[in-house]
Amino acid sequence: MRTFFHSIRWRVQAWHGAILLTVILGFCLTSHRLAWNNQLRSVDRSLAQTERTLIRGLMQAAEAHGEPGPGFSPRRLADKLRSNPEVFPSALGAIFQGREPGFAYFSLRDADNRPLLQSPNVPEDVAVPLHTPPEFAEEARTVSGRREIVHRTPDGLVSIIGMDLGPERREMRRFAWSLVALGGGVWLVGLLGGWWLAGRAIQPVADISRTASRIAEGNLEERIVPDGTNSELDQLSRVLNATFDRLHAALERQKQFTADASHELRTPVTILLSETQRILKRDRTPEEYRAVIQTCQATAQRMRQLTEALLLLARQDRGAGELRREPCDLAAILRTTAAQLQPLADARGIQLRLELETALCMGDPTALSILTTNLVGNAVEHHDRAGGVVVVGCGVHEGQVRLAVSDDGPGIPAADLPHVFDRFYRVDSARSGGSGHVGLGLAIAKAIATNHGGDIVAENLPGRGCRFSVQLPARSPSARASS
Amino acid sequence: MRVLVVEDNPVLLRSLADSLREESFAVDTAEDGEEGVEKATSVAYDAIVLDVMLPKLDGWGVLARLRPGIRTPVLMLTARDAVPDRVRGLDCGADDYLTKPFNLDELLARLRALVRRTTGQTRSLIEVGDMKIDTAARRVFLAGVDVPLTAREYVLLEYLALHRGETVSRTALYEHLFDENDDSLSNLLDVHVSNLRRKLGRDLIATRRGHGYCIE
């Protein structure tokens, strides 16, 4: 249940419910208030009507008894009416009587709250307000369930005419209940709709999560099916699919590499076992023993080269983070490399021609020297004829350090060109134990170039030969300043 | 027994061929798949040792070209030892499967078993009358007594015994007992046969004039 209350759907629903409730409450309260004000206005209108009726009735009664004479004032009228109750018109008495809900009453009082004249049904708690309105002004107020209009005459008389709000209040209660029912209904429908909508919005997430967990369980071929709407979730699906593609490819490469490495290591072990088992089956001549030991030695040398190459590659595979970075001159490194490979070139009758310019870059000198050795050694070893030339050049061009090793050898067959940097790929296809290279040299060179933020390309030259070019970022002036 | 070994690593190929020759197999070699197919279709080998990772045409491709026309038993050699690889090899028509690095004795035993199975034998011991041939130890006993034979004499006797009851032509004997590098003359076969008769008894090997030899 914990996860349920933490689910996005639940949280969306909770927020949605709260906001919807606030809106509905605000709406209901406002309409209730408006309706109540409306009621009060109509009550006020009817009170004003009643007041006019009362005043007219009282005036008529006074006229019938010889008033108004000179010096008429509401106070004198009130005194007169009080001293002669029979003067009070019975029509008016019918209006101001009883305590049924909605009854009307009036009360004329002096400023000290002493009643001068009032209807018999005046509630006990009727009182002149503490702050009486200014002369001729009118004040409407709601006091304990009644609506009253208060007037003050110039001679200090206060008239209170009121009405019980019972029927209006009952009506307002009914209205309030219907508002509650309506609001509650709208809220429930909103909640259901919100739940459905949230579920619909979350549905693709659930699909993505299910697919992703299947992929995590090892089904690497599977992909999330994007809904093609280009929505946020659709974009997420695409991003995830691209990530899975890359992971899958990396894993496949790793698998292939492990399989290849194990194959490459198993073959020499097989030779060692097979040769030693054969030779030990019976007594041999010293020449036979020597031949087998030589084979074993050559095989062991090859295994050593292979493990060294694998180790180098593994080190490069750990990425650029492990790389030492210091300022170094590619020209100096190439000069050393050429000197080391000179004996091999001499043995094969190859001329090494150096065209070196100072090329400063940031890098690991050991790794860069492996890169140059692999490239130059590769060019020398694959040259097919004595008298050939291998040109080694470097320099800075357009802010990039460039290194090129070109030869006038047989070139690379077009079908092999895209694969020369693949691990364990050998152009001659011979997994020969004798030739000494294990098919990792160029792969290592590429890994080193990539780790230095550079790139390496192989191309056939028009006519004859091929060229391997490396581009590395040049050592920037800021780096020079800081070092 | 004549065996074809297809393996791209020249050192391993030479080592395997030497080992098999020392066990009196006649051995032909091929360094890539296409050469392997060519040789396997032109000579009736008793068995083929086939590496999987080969240039030009890999082991699977060689098998696909051989089967179902060529029924020579094939022993696959490979560095891939995952179960799916082994299953694939056997399903493709290989008769046995050995992963590198292998034990030489195991390879030899499996080859002998393959040849035995294709000739209908179930045991490594062949009995003809009171003569016993132990194909594992490559020794021959006559009435319990060890009879020393030369390697050539032994393979000739073994081949005839494996095809007991059949008349084996001289051509077939040449094809199965000598490899592509042998230049033994044809009359040597008669010498070996007469030597065997001298050592094991006149009546063991019958001559069918114009057809060949036979062990009844």
Regarding whether A335 and A300 lie in a shared domain, the answer is: no
Provide the domain limits for residue A115.
2-171
Question: What tens digit of pLDDT does each residue of B85-103 get?
Answer: 778 878 888 888 888 888 8
Asked whether residue A159 is assigned to any structural domain, the reply reads: yes
The domain limits of chain B are 2-118, 125-215
Regarding whether A139 and A240 lie in a shared domain, the answer is: no
Token reading at B74: 């094939």
Facing B10 at nearest CB: one of A269, A272, A433: A433
Confidence band (pLDDT; 50, 70, 90) for A133?
A: low
Regarding whether A401 and A307 lie in a shared domain, the answer is: no
> By the CB < 8 Å criterion, does B129 face chain A?
no
Tell me the pLDDT of chain A averaged across its residues.
82
Residue A2 has pLDDT above 70, yes or no: no
Beta strands A351-356 and A389-397, pairing class = parallel
Regarding whether A348 and A313 lie in a shared domain, the answer is: no
Token reading at A359: 């090329």
Q: What angle do CA A312, A313, A314 make, to 5 degrees?
A: 95
Question: What tens digit of pLDDT does each residue of A200-228 get?
Answer: 888 888 888 888 888 888 787 888 887 77
**CB–CB of A120/A99 below 8 Å?**
no
> Which of the listed CATH numbers 1.10.3720.10, 1.20.1270.360, 3.40.50.2300, 3.10.105.10 matches domain B2-118?
3.40.50.2300
Residue A87 has pLDDT above 80, yes or no: no
Token reading at B100: 């590198």
> By the CB < 8 Å criterion, does B206 face chain A?
no
SS3 category, B170: helix
Residue after which a domain boundary falls, among A287, A318, A349 = A318
> By the CB < 8 Å criterion, does B10 face chain A?
yes
- Per DSSP, the residues of A407-475 read E-S----TTTGGGTTSTT--TT----SSS---S-HHHHHHHHHHHTT-EEEEEEPSSS-EEEEEEEEBP
Chain B residue with the nearest C-alpha to that of A298: B11
Residue after which a domain boundary falls, among A318, A339, A359 = A318
Report d(CA B83, CA B80) in Å as an integer: 9
Residue A294 has a pLDDT of 92
Report d(CA A104, CA A124) in Å as an integer: 14
Q: Where are the alpha helices (DSSP H) in B33-182?
A: 33-42, 59-66, 83-91, 104-118, 151-162, 170-177
Confidence band (pLDDT; 50, 70, 90) for A173?
A: very high
> By the CB < 8 Å criterion, does A432 face chain B?
yes
Is the preceding peptide bond at B101 cis, omega within 30 degrees of 0?
A: yes
| Fold of the B125-215 domain | Arc Repressor Mutant, subunit A (1.10.10)
> Smallest CA–CA separation between B85 and chain A, in Å?
12
Query: What CATH number is associated with residue A351?
Result: 3.30.565.10
> By the CB < 8 Å criterion, does B15 face chain A?
yes
Q: How many domains does chain A have?
A: 3
Mean pLDDT of A338-351: 90
> By the CB < 8 Å criterion, does B24 face chain A?
no
Q: Which of A283, A263, A444, A457 is nearest to A370 (CA)?
A: A444
> By the CB < 8 Å criterion, does A273 face chain B?
yes
> By the CB < 8 Å criterion, does B9 face chain A?
yes
Report d(CA A315, CA A370) in Å as an integer: 13
Regarding whether A156 and A9 lie in a shared domain, the answer is: yes
Residue A479 has a pLDDT of 46
> Smallest CA–CA separation between A224 and chain B, in Å?
28
Q: Which of A61-65, A353-357, A459-463 shows the highest mean pLDDT? A: A353-357
Q: Where are the alpha helices (DSSP H) in A142-285?
A: 166-216, 232-279
Regarding whether A274 and A328 lie in a shared domain, the answer is: no
Query: What CATH number is associated with residue A292?
Result: 1.10.287
Chain A positions in Cβ-Cβ contact with residue B102 (cut-off 8 Å): 270, 273-274
Q: What Å distances lie between residue B171 and A60, B21, B204, CA to CA?
A: 158, 20, 20
Q: What number of CA atoms fall less than 13 Å from residue A272's CA on the CB side?
A: 14
Regarding whether A136 and A86 lie in a shared domain, the answer is: yes
Mean pLDDT of A61-85: 65
Residue A31 has a pLDDT of 93
Question: What tens digit of pLDDT does each residue of A17-34 get?
Answer: 999 999 999 999 999 999
Residue A431 has pLDDT above 50, yes or no: no
Residue of A269, A270, A272, A297 to mutate, testing the B interface (most B Cβ within 10 Å of its Cβ): A270
Mean pLDDT of B108-117: 88
Residue B150 has a pLDDT of 85
Beta strands B74-78 and B47-51, pairing class = parallel
pTM of the shown model = 0.59
Regarding whether A277 and A308 lie in a shared domain, the answer is: yes
Confidence band (pLDDT; 50, 70, 90) for A432?
A: very low
Chain A positions in Cβ-Cβ contact with residue B100 (cut-off 8 Å): 263, 266-267, 269-270
As a three-state string, the secondary structure of A208-248 is HHHHHHHHHCCCCCCCCCCCCCCCHHHHHHHHHHHHHHHHH
ipTM exceeding cut-off 0.90 for this assembly:
no
Phi, psi of B75 (to 5 degrees): -110, 120
Query: Residue A282: exposed, middle, or buried by beta-carbon count in 10 A (0-12, 13-18, 19+)?
Result: exposed
Residue of B6, B7, B14, B15 to mutate, testing the A interface (most A Cβ within 10 Å of its Cβ): B15
